[in-house]
Structure formats: structure tokens, C-alpha cells
Amino acid sequence: MPDRGNEVPRRASDSASDGPDDTPEVETTLARRGPLIEPDSPFARPVEGVAPLQAALPDSEEPPLDVHDADDAPPPVPRRSAASTTSASDIDLIPAPVPKASTEPALPASPPHNWLRDHRRTLLIWLTGALVMALAVAVGVFALRSGGRPTASPTASPSGNPSAVSSLTVDDLMTPEDATLMVPGASWVVTATAGTPSEATARAACLSATDEKVNTLATFQRTLGTSDSGQLAALQQLDVYSTAQAAEAVQATRVATLAACTEVPARIVSSTAIAGLADEAQQLTVAYDEDPVQFHTVLLLRTGRALTILDVTRTGEPVPAESAVAGLLRPLTAVCKPVEGTCPGTPTFSPTVPPSADPAGWLLTSDFPRVTPGAGKWTGTAPAALTSHGMGCENMTLASEPGPTDRKQRTYLLTQDPRVPATFGVDEMRFDFSDEATAAAFVTKLTDNLANCRDRVLTANVSELTAVRGTGASDLPVSARSFVIDQSTSDSASVSYQVSVAVAGKKVSYLLASVTADFRFTDDQLGALALRSAQRLSQ
């Protein structure tokens, strides 16, 4: 950004995104999903360019022989010669002819003529050939019966107890009575129930475009709603897999997708660490910056070979994670043993940093709020060399100030909002240091220069906001200071900036937003964004 308001943030391409590209590959494929549910449902979020997947079949699959036809067919019989109609015992009963008397010397008598003995070699050859032919026919029938179709699919042979899995039904999903535990006093009703993957068309927030390449043994889904104020609704989905390893792979894919949360208009609000509920638990609260704002409390759980998705939505304010979990305790207890998972105990909850997503250490586009409710899409450039000159009050050359061992910047732009000024944008500059003391000294110099800018620039007007503090990854303390700075460029014109300096251990970030008097972040939004920047630094 330029000295004293003469330069604006670099513009990013609308196509930039933060979503991770890697997806775990598993040999089987996801069964084809049906169309999304009704458009007015809070869980119906079609995504352009994302087509449903279909289970893959072998390229060439011959229809197998009918098993009964093959079993009922009479065995092949050896071919017999027409001359073999006389039995061996009949031949032995025919007496040898009596020779006539002769005056010539008698010759030794010839043995009686025996057809069986004379043709024994031929019969043996015929019999052997017939047996070989019969064996070949039997082998061919067996090959056709077993080789014409594939053996059991990997997903059809669970390591666990198939009968236990088959005992699960839609009755193991959340009921209106369970939902009442989430928000007491609400009048809950079931709005839809699905018992197959193709029927399970609802989608939780941030998970509309998940690419899961493992077939489920069973899928159940239910949506519930109320007629109360706040548009309170809930979605629960239960997926059972052949092995715990398959469930772990899908859970990892879902967590990565949820962490990036690239859906427009989703904004990441907070995250809660949950223990004592399942084998794995990930929670994220997101807001859809519409009018009114719609909040989604999303949970992703793994219980042995089963995965649970819960999305509880309400306008005005989010449903706390503790309340959402209360509605899941009975359903999770019902399924934990059949799927060989950890059963719920007494869950504990603590605030935590939202899960990391690429590019790690930087703000995500889903960390930014919309300035105009219901409009706008944030985009971000890839991290690159730091080139910003700042806005003048820093009183240091950001690109070459001594101290940092590495420095980069990333630029964020707001598009698809007709009100956005041409100069609006945010630069995030990140500085790495060799130790915390050097980082702290840099932060002190930069924030003091910003706070005292009017002492050097008479046309500057500086207001400092309330500092924010929190905890980053691995319980690292983080903090940030924010300022609003207006600089007069004439008697009737000025330029405005919202800036924040955040620190997490040996890393520092400097947010520089070029704004206007009527298009800017609120003080609360700026403070939340500064704290999120510090938290991202810690990851």
C-alpha cells in the first residue's frame, strides 16, 4: 500500500480460494447421491460444478451362470462304441469250437476267442478320454460360476459384526424429544427422514462439496424443524463403514473441508474442543452473513466405524456446542456398541482455535465478514514477497526493516458487492523472527508509531480500539492492537484505514485495510479479525 494514502492494496483474482486440494483416496467409491432437498431448507446448498459421484462397477462384467442350472445338470457320460453292447460275462459263456479229426499231426490248440480281452486297450483309451472330457466340463462350469462376477466387495465384508450393523435403523437418529434437550421449549417436529444414501440429500454447512470415496454399509439422515422464532432447525446424519480405518479416512476429509469452509457466504465464528463424547470430535460454528445472520453449529464425530454429522441452525445467535451435544447423547449411546466405538461419558467443553487450513498461518477468506449483509465474496492471493509501503504512519520501511528473518504478504479483495469502493481491500503482512524478544520489540515500535502518528503527521487522526487477547494453538498466548486512522488529503477529502498488529510468540502480523467512511468493518468485526489473525499465526 502507498505512503500516505497514494497506493491501494493489490487486487486478487476472483478465482482464488483457500480450500485444500488433497483428498484421501480409497479404493471404493461413493454411492450416487440424489437431488438436494427443498430449496428453502437451511441444509439445501447446491454447489456449481459439483456433480454427484456414482459407485464404480468393473469395466466388463459378464452375467454369471444360473447356479441352479449348473447344479441340476446331469454329469457327462463317457461315449460308448456300438460294438460294446455285449457284456463281458456273455462273451465268456460261448464255448470254443471242437476241431475235427485229422490224420495230420495236431497243432497246439488256440485259446478261445475273447472280444473283451482283444479290445481291452481300445476300451481303456475311450474310458480315459471320457473322464478327461468330464473333468474339463466340470472345471469350465466352475470357472464360469465363480469367474464371471467379482468376489465380495471390500465394503461388503466388514471386520465388525454385520448383523450388529444391520440392527441399526432410523429409530437410532435424533427424535423431537432429543432435540428438545438442545433448545428447551422449542416445538420440534421431524421434517424428513432418509434410510439410504440416495435419499440422504440434505447437506450440513461447509460440507456441500465433500468428495468421499468410500461406500457406506448404512446411511441414515433426519432433519427436524420448528415453527418458533429464530428459524430453528437441525440435521443429523449417521454413516456406517466397513472398518474403523475407512471411517477415519472419511472423517479426515470432512474435517479438512469443514476447516477451510469455502462456501459462500460462510464465515468461521468459533470452535469448541469436546472430550468424552466419541472417538473423535470436531466442532465449528459458522455464520451465513445474510439478513438476518444465520448461525450453524456443526459437529463431526467418529464412533468406531460410524460417523455422525450434526448441524443445528438458528438466526440471531448460535446454539452453543454444549446444547447441541445434549441432543446427541441418546442416539450416540444407541449406536456406539454395534459399531465398536467409544460410548458417551460426561462430555467436557473448552474454547479452541478453529482447525487449520491451507495456507497455514494466514487468514482464510472464510475468516472475513461481509460488509453488506447478503452480498459479497472474499478472495485472496497466494502468499508472496512483501512489497507494501504501508500507509505512512508506520514510520518504518516494512519491506526491509531490520529484525524479521522472513516476511511475506497476502492481499484480500471483496467482490460481488455493488457497494464496494474501488479502493477497498486488505493486506496481511506476516513477519517471522528468531525469538520472541525480537518479535516483541518489533511490535512495540510499530504500534507506538501508529498510535503517535499525529505527532509526526498533523493531518492524521488516530483512534485506538480495545486490545484483544486470547489463546492460540498449543495454548500459546496471542494478542492484538487495532487502530482507525484518517488522513486529510484536502479541506474536504480524506483517506481512511483500519489497521491491526497481532503477535503469537515469534510471529507478527500487520493488517492494513483501505476503507471509506461508509464502507468499513465495525469495531467488533475488526477486533475479531485481528484476534483470528493472531490465532492463525500460532498454527
121 pLDDT band, cuts 50/70/90, is: low
99 pLDDT band, cuts 50/70/90, is: very low
> DSSP character for 368?
S
DSSP-derived 3-state class of residue 321: helix
CA angle 235, 236, 242 (to 5 degrees): 145
User: Which pLDDT score is estimated for 93?
Assistant: 34
Neighbouring-strand partners of residue 351:
272
User: Which pLDDT score is estimated for 163?
Assistant: 60
User: Which pLDDT score is estimated for 323?
Assistant: 98
Q: How far is 477 from 83, CA to CA, in rounded Å?
A: 104
229 pLDDT band, cuts 50/70/90, is: confident
Residue ranges of the alpha helices (H) in 154-277?
162-166, 176-180, 244-260
Please tell me the number of Cα atoms within 13 Å of 413 on its side-chain side: 16
- H or E element that contains 100: none
pLDDT at 8 over 70: no
- Integer-rounded Cα radius of gyration of the chain: 39
C-alpha cell at 530: 485481528
Q: Assess contact for 155 and 28: CB atoms under 8 A.
A: yes
pLDDT at 148 over 70: no
pLDDT at 106 over 70: no
pLDDT in tens, 452-499: 999 999 999 999 999 999 999 999 999 999 999 999 988 888 999 999
CA angle 234, 237, 243 (to 5 degrees): 155
User: Which pLDDT score is estimated for 71?
Assistant: 40
Neighbouring-strand partners of residue 301:
281, 308
The pTM of the full predicted model, rounded to 2 decimals, is: 0.72
Alpha-carbon dihedral of residues 199, 205, 211, 217, nearest 10 degrees? -40
pLDDT at 56 over 90: no
167 pLDDT band, cuts 50/70/90, is: confident
How many residues appear in the chain?
539
46 pLDDT band, cuts 50/70/90, is: very low
DSSP-derived 3-state class of residue 429: strand
User: Which pLDDT score is estimated for 43?
Assistant: 84
Q: Assess contact for 189 and 176: CB atoms under 8 A.
A: yes
Q: Assess contact for 345 and 272: CB atoms under 8 A.
A: no
Residue 403, φ and ψ in degrees, nearest 5: 125, -55
Would you call 281 exposed, middle or buried from its count of C-beta atoms within 10 A (0-12, 13-18, 19+)? buried
177 pLDDT band, cuts 50/70/90, is: very high
88 pLDDT band, cuts 50/70/90, is: very low
pLDDT at 4 over 70: no
User: Which pLDDT score is estimated for 92?
Assistant: 37
C-alpha cell at 226: 420448528
pLDDT at 418 over 60: yes
Q: How far is 345 from 282, CA to CA, in rounded Å?
A: 17
Only one residue has cell 464371471, namely 148
pLDDT in tens, 233-286: 999 999 999 999 999 999 999 999 999 999 999 999 999 999 999 999 999 999
Nearest to 483 by CA among 399, 393, 412: 393
